[in-house]
Structure 1
Amino acid sequence: MKSIYLQFDFLNQKPCSFASPIEVLSTTDSNEIPALMEKMNEFKKEGYYLAGYLSYEAAPAFQTNYQVNDKPLIPLLWFGVFDKPRPVKPIQPAAYTTSEWKPLIKKESFIQNIETIQEYIKNKKTEQVNYTTRFEASFEGDAYTFYNQLKKNQSASYSAYLQLGELQILSLSPELFFKIDGKRIITKPMKGTMKRGFSYKEDEELKSLLYSSEKNRYENEMVAKLLKDELSTLVKANTATIEKKFEIETHPTIHQMTSTVSGELKEESSIYDWFRALFPCGSITGSPKVETMQIIKSLEDSPRDVYCGAIGYITPDNRAIFNVPIRTVQIKGNQAIYGSGSGVTSKSEPIQEYYEVIEKTKILTKEQIEFSLLESMRYENGEINHLSDHLARLKESASYFQFTYDQDNVMSEIRRFIATLQDNPPSKIRLLMSDNGKINLEAIPLEKLNSIRSKLSPQPIKKENLFLYHKTTNRSVYEQFDSKLPNGYQTTLLWNEEGHVTEFSIGNLVIEKNGHYYTPPLSDGLLPGVMRGKLLANNTLIEKHIKKEQLLEADQIFLINSVRGWIKVDLKEQEVSLNKTHLLQ
């Protein structure tokens, strides 16, 4: 049997773990939960720590009219009693494999259930329902390695790993359920989701769209009010307040809307009191709770288990912190289960709700690559050309990837470095910035280059590769082609799935036709080059989709970047399909 080990990587808390419990409190019977929580209270008073989870199906222990699936796969409650927390164990990567993640419900049935929920809303049976489904895969190997990969993928604020014998729980939750700091309790319901954009500009537009979305605000405000009402039964009179509304949090694959609700705890409130007032979290049920949980039970054909329950720990000095286990994988034997859902209101578009659920599964397969941000700049006559534009782009990408960015520190490092160059000839300055904001600079002498030979890539790039839109050290999308260039060629010209040419591997593309200069739009999948931006701003360039075949009709083809300027490109006709079009006329 596998040992017991629990690890918590919670925001603003030192990562900690618990192992070798002096006792385990666990049950599959909701009627036993009040007595077990009283026992937990006694252990807390005796100076012990408690760590574990409550499953969603534990809800009837706090309100008998809460209806849940009656065939849970795991215990309703599991808490270990520990003498003290310990440092987290070192990561020793080991192999693991997962099969394809498959939804347990068909798209048509999912949409039909959304429409059924909207009928309930129309008939005043509920105001909003958090409807969920499960995805399933086969799993083999080391669950802790899988957890650490998922943690890297999601960068979640409230992650936890629970190895409880044959059961492993990998929670990458961005959502705080509640936090108790002595006498004060804080909840932070999360409701409202938007996918990330690829470029900084698109990402900011989507974030703004989420913030101003009537549907998402309605959904979020409803849950915040519900939690405020529930807190009122647990806190001192008139202390329950909604402090912050409609804040947008950014995660690697999605933006989420949150609000903060808090209050001052009544004296001598017990662990059972906390959960009786709040569990399960309103953000994963809907409102009103009792009626909505009845609807959930009738439509969801599998138990939620730990998904949408609570995972966390309690300290002897009356401090506690629990997440809402969304973005959570549950592994038992070789079966892995992942829950995903969305909040359904009268304003919901059923097909969009389905896509939202799919969007939330991306962390399971997306592999986060370690990289640094990169800027290549021209140095001559004692200064860096277009420095402010380069730093503006660097700052935008730092914001997008949530890297630390300190403008004063960046400028200080650049000035210090330039002072060492003295009378250097024109050079390329290569600036690297790591995720912690550390800057590295080097100067590379520039060789004379009047023209360049290029070859069209043998296959298209995928526009959804976000590294096409940001200048970083992750250049695999370019290197896969440049590494196969024949002798005499210096760069690859890329094109996308729609047959539009995009950019060169080392610069932006410009085509001259009848005295006009054209460059592809960013939406085709390319880097927002500094020189490209300046030439668009002064109307030298015109944005236009350019088909591969149209390259044959160009009067001249140029590669542009801020290090080299304009470079003529020799692209042999045999590199391009002879299927000509005349859209540039």
Structure 2
Amino acid sequence: MFQLLSSTRYDQYLLSLDWNRDDDGPCPFLLLPYHHERLVDAAKQHNWVQVTASLSYPLLKLSCLKAVHDHSSDENPTAFRIRITVSQTGEVSVSTTPLSALISDPMAPSLFNPLSDMSYDGPIVSLQIDSELTTPSIFTTTKTTHRSLYDQARARAAIPTLSPTQDVLLINENNCVMETSIFNVAFHRSSSWITPETSTGCLPGVLRRWLLSDGRIREDTKHELTRNNIINGEWVLLFNGVQGCRLGRVIDSVPRR
């Protein structure tokens, strides 16, 4: 049986960023209110009534704080990947994985402009294009522990499971870009970053939601993002709820035969 899934970040640096707040003030978890709302929305889509009735934001935050407290010490890192799962009966489970602490705003790469910025000195993710098409379903539009289609896409591209520098772009049956195996994406078109509409079957990620609300990206209402107009070497903005924003470049754009 699958569970609902969401992954965020605990990092003391986040307390210094005005945009990362909840009702208690500055928050050490990256956009945790958005994660809560997405989990509740996913529960509604799966008709998990007990979850929608019981999963409150205070409960979720307390569970995350307890997990961090249980795994923190003077010798351990002060930043963690926070993996949240919720069962059909409403049981919340939180696990932690140590991360390197942030030293800058994780949203900063979204300000990169491929037309005017001559260089980028941060880590770059190499992006291949999946050799097969992905069928959208409730398991692409909600995040769950049922992730075999993403694992299969990475396997087809011969990408190691935990590689931080490689990923694969998923394409739906209408030849439209969806996302990568772990990131939402935006391509630079008409002087701005545009991201696939949710009608493509992509996940409505928490970073995607924040970037849209802040005007840093816009939705692809004209369906410009197709397999055939991806350019080899072009920049792609990548974003998820643990890493924030990163930049990638396409290394494979050979037209499908």
The residue type paired with residue 411 of structure 1 is K
Using a 3 Å threshold, how does the CA distance of structure 1 residues 447 and 484 change in structure 2: closer, same or farther? Answer: farther
Are 1:426 and 2:71 matched, yes or no?
A: no
Correspondences of 1:448-467 after superposition (within 5 Å): 450-463=123-136, 465-467=137-139
Question: Where has structure 1 moved over 4 Å in runs of 4 or more?
Answer: none
Which of 464, 480, 485 lines up with 2:157 in the alignment? Answer: 485
C-alpha deviation, 1:484, in angstroms:
2.8
User: Within 5 A, what are the aligned runs for 1:264-275?
Assistant: none
The 5 A counterparts of 1:336-485 are 370-381=1-12, 383-403=28-48, 404-405=50-51, 406=54, 407=56, 408-422=58-72, 424-446=77-99, 450-463=123-136, 465-485=137-157
Aligned to 1:562: 241
Point out the structure with max Rg over C-alpha. Answer: 1
**Aligned residue number for residue 276 of structure 1:** none
Structure 2 CA distance for partners of 1:571 and 1:555, relative to 1, 3 Å: closer
Instruction: Please say if 1:507 is aligned against 2:208.
Output: no
Aligned-partner Cα distance in 2 for 1:513–1:527: 21
Name whichever structure is richer in strand by fraction.
1
Assess if the C-alpha contact under 8 Å between 2:232 and 2:250 holds in 1: no
CA offset at residue 554 of structure 1?
Answer: 8.1
Greater relative contact order structure (CA < 8 Å, 6+ sep): 2
CA contact (8 A) 2:233 2:250 kept: no
Secondary structure at the residue paired with 1:392?
helix
- Whichever residue aligns with residue 551 of structure 1, its letter is I
Secondary structure of the corresponding residue to residue 441 of structure 1: strand
In 2, distance between residues paired with 1:534 and 1:540? Answer: 9
Change (3 A) 1:487 1:520: closer
User: Whole-Å Cα distance in 1 between the matches of residues 59 and 242 of structure 2?
Assistant: 23
User: Structure 1 residue 507: deviation in Å?
Assistant: 0.8
1:447, distance to aligned residue in structure 2 (A): 5.6
TM-score (norm 1): 0.34
1:542 to 208, 218, 225: 218
Is the contact made by 1:495 and 1:548 (CA closer than 8 Å) also made in structure 2? yes
8 Å contact kept, 2:183–2:240: yes
Q: Alpha carbons of 1:487 and 1:468: their partners in 2 closer, same or farther (altered >3 Å)?
A: closer
CA distance in 2 between partners of 1:446 and 1:456 (Å)? 28
Identity, % of aligned pairs? 25
Q: C-alpha distance in 2, partners of 1:525/1:570?
A: 22
Q: CA separation in 2, counterparts of 1:553 and 1:453?
A: 11
1:539 to 1:530, Cα distance in 2 relative to 1, 3 A: same
- C-alpha contact 1:529 1:561 (8 A) present in aligned 2: yes
- SS class of match (1:412): helix
Q: CA deviation at 1:399?
A: 2.0
Q: Whole-Å Cα distance in 2 between the matches of residues 434 and 487 of structure 1?
A: 30
Q: Map Cα deviations across residues 309-343 of structure 1 (whole Å, 9 max, x no partner).
A: xxxxxxxxxxxxxxxxxxxxxxxxxxxxxxxxxxx
- CA–CA distance in structure 2, aligned partners of residues 447 and 486 of structure 1: 26
Equivalent pairs counted in the alignment come to: 208
- Contact kept? 1:512, 1:554, Cα under 8 Å: no
Unaligned runs of 5+ in 1: 1-369, 580-585
Shift of 1:563: 1.2
In 1, Cα distance between equivalents of 2:229 and 2:138: 26
Q: Which amino acid in structure 1 is aligned with residue 145 of structure 2?
A: T
Q: Whole-Å Cα distance in 2 between the matches of residues 416 and 447 of structure 1?
A: 20
Q: Deviations over 1:111-154 (max 9, x none)?
A: xxxxxxxxxxxxxxxxxxxxxxxxxxxxxxxxxxxxxxxxxxxx
Please tell me the residue identity of whatever aligns with 1:438: E
Closer/same/farther in 2, CA of residues 554 and 522 from structure 1, 3 Å limit: farther
**Kindly tell me: are residues 516 and 568 of structure 1, through their superposed partners in 2, closer, same or farther at Cα, counting changes over 3 Å?**
same
Counterpart amino acid of 2:241? Answer: S
For the 8 Å contact 2:211–2:217, the answer to whether it is kept is: yes
Shift of 1:438: 0.9
For 1:483 and 1:446, the matched residues in 2 are separated by 25
Q: Check 1:492–1:578 CA distance in 2 against 1; reply closer, same or farther (3 A cut).
A: closer
Q: 1:492 to 1:473 in 2, by over 3 A?
A: same
- Once the two structures are TM-superposed, the CA of residue 499 in structure 1 deviates from its matched residue by 0.8
User: Residue 205 of structure 1 aligns with which residue?
Assistant: none
CA contact (8 A) 1:513 1:555 kept: no
Distance 2:149 2:37 in 1: 24
